A = this chain, B = another copy of it.
């Protein structure tokens, strides 16, 4: 039986209120779903995971909400090349958990990695500075993905 009461403010309430958005049960469910996994969920995936407890949250709302969350900077939208968009929280209750991706072109498996991030971040900072100066571009975030073949697919 789902809790429909506002059981105290959540860590993300401020962030979306600041953008002028309202807090609704659907949004609560969607963010909760995203924050309870490390998977890279599609809109349909989110729908499937929510539908049991919130049968009255439609797919349209999922799309709209995810879009809104991307706008508010709470969610990052990816494309791994399989025709559907994937979504991931940019941060959790405990703060950001920044990572990059290793994508298998054989089976579409995606590995999050945080190793080597330190060196990368250092370089990225310099690159961002150089790029934004040269092209007069305000850089908000970046996407780094390595494509290749995973162990399982190599075995075939």
Residues of A within 8 A of B (CB): 77, 79, 81, 102, 104-105, 111, 113, 115-116, 119-120, 123, 126-128, 130-132, 134-151, 154
Contacts and interface: CB of A to CB of B under 8 A. Distances in A.
B147 A140 contact: yes
23 contacts: A102-B131, A102-B137, A113-B131, A113-B134, A115-B130, A116-B127, A123-B123, A135-B150, A136-B154, A137-B148, A137-B150, A139-B147, A140-B147, A140-B148, A140-B149, A141-B146, A141-B147, A141-B148, A142-B144, A142-B146, A143-B143, A143-B144, A144-B144
Nearest to A105: B140
Nearest to A78: B79
Contact of A137 (B104, B115, B132): B104
Contact of A146 (B126, B128, B136): B128
Given A81-B79, A123-B123, A116 B131 contact: yes
